[in-house]
Amino acid sequence: MRSVDATLPPVPGIASADVLIDRSARTRFRLGFDRAMGWLTPLLFLVAIVPILDMVYYVSLKAVPHLTWTIITGTNPYEANVYLGVPLYTTFYVIGLATAIAVALGLFGGIATAELLPEQWANAARTGANLLVGTPSIIIGYLGYLGFVLYFGWGPVFIAGVVTLSFFMTPYVFRTADLAFSSIPRHIREAALGSGAGPSQYIVRVGLPIAFPQVLTGVFLAMAIGIGETAPLVVTMQPGVLVPQNLFSPAKTLTMVIWENFQSPLAANQVLAFEAAFLLLVIVLALNVVVRVISARYQKRLEGLYQ
């Protein structure tokens, strides 16, 4: 305003240029409202932050005082409501195998969609992946239950849960692979193809090294989501007290322990549920941090490629 003051010619009948500043009640309200929103909307972050902290605090409060190394790793099947070793190892088996299947199902599809498919087919493939992400997990559980458990006659066993869970994780791997390959700068692709590489050589020699961190992010993300999934596993696996001996053994993961025990009238069972919840929370939060770190570093690297 000051610079305007300085250059304004004197106006006959007006003592100072001050009257040019709008001080009406309406303007004061507009400015005040804007400022108030600037303070109020950030307060809404409390709605997200307080529940997370409360969750972490209470789950730790109920679990940590009881938690010992023996409880985490113990596998005595006669003490299945004290030790968490069996569900913990089973969770890793389930998630490991399911991730392997999900990568096999999703990775090639994602790369093919980004690099090879004609536009219409690629859009159809992306729509399918997006819709599968939006499909409720219980419905994928029903596919496993109706298909593997009943129709194929496998019964409620380890492998039925694993394959069902991998269907659930596939679209996440698929979409990040697609996104990673689509976001490689165009000039790199053109340079590779222009210097005589075929499409498959380009994908393996050029594309994959660039896109690898983000593909890895997708795999970790799929693991973080799959490890916390309950519904597809509860309907496709019979809870067992041993680490699965083969693909057709009963199996029980950490999420199933929580689901079985959260409503129990026995205090010991509730403690077990909270211990399982605590382990699960630690694993999931760690995976989420890994995802964030990798993707932040990848972003920097990708920005470097554009120069």
Partner 1 sequence: MLSYLRYSAIAPGLIPSGIIVAIVIALVFASKLTLLHNFFGFNWNPTLSWGIGAFVAGSFLTAIPALAFSMLIGLGLAVASTTYLPRLVASLLDPFVDLLAGIPSVIYGIWGFIVIGPYFGMTINPWLADHLRLIPWFGPPSGNTLGEGLPLAIFLLTLMALPITTLLIRDSLRAVPRDLWESGLALGATRWEVLRRVALPYARRGVMSAAFLGFGRAFGETVAVAMVFGSTAVIPSNFYGTGYTLAAAMFELVDSSYGNFQFLAVLTEMALVLLAISLAVNIIGRRLVIRLSTTEVAGV
Residues numbered 205 to 224 that lie near partner 1 (CB under 8 A) are: 217-218, 221, 224
Helix locations, the chain, DSSP H: 2-7, 25-43, 45-63, 69-73, 85-115, 119-134, 137-144, 158-182, 186-194, 199-201, 208-227, 231-236, 254-261, 267-305
Among 12, 23, 24, 45, binds partner 1 (CB under 8 A): 45
Please report the DSSP string for 87-103 in residue order: HHHHHHHHHHHHHHHHH
Verify binding: residue 303, partner 1, rule CB under 8 A. Answer: no
Verify binding: residue 81, partner 1, rule CB under 8 A. Answer: no
Site size with partner 1, rule: CB under 8 A: 98
Verify binding: residue 152, partner 1, rule CB under 8 A. Answer: no
Backbone angles phi, psi at 94, to 5 degrees: -60, -50
Q: How far apart are CB 86 and partner 1 at their closest, in Å?
A: 18
HSE-up of 54 (CA within 13 Å, CB side)?
A: 6
- Interface region with partner 1, contact rule CB under 8 A, candidates 3-11, 48-56, 74-82, 240-248: 48-56
Residues 2 to 31: which contact partner 1 by CB under 8 A?
Answer: 30-31
Verify binding: residue 235, partner 1, rule CB under 8 A. Answer: yes
Among 11, 20, 21, 49, binds partner 1 (CB under 8 A): 49
Among 26, 263, 303, 306, binds partner 1 (CB under 8 A): 263
Among 4, 11, 28, 54, binds partner 1 (CB under 8 A): 54
**CA 29 to chain CA mean position, Å:** 43
d(CA 166, CA 182): 24
Q: Which amino acid type is present at position 259?
A: W
Verify binding: residue 163, partner 1, rule CB under 8 A. Answer: no
Among 72, 82, 93, 128, binds partner 1 (CB under 8 A): 128
Among 210, 240, 273, 275, binds partner 1 (CB under 8 A): 273
Length of the chain: 307
Q: Which two tokens stand for residue 100?
A: 């392997």
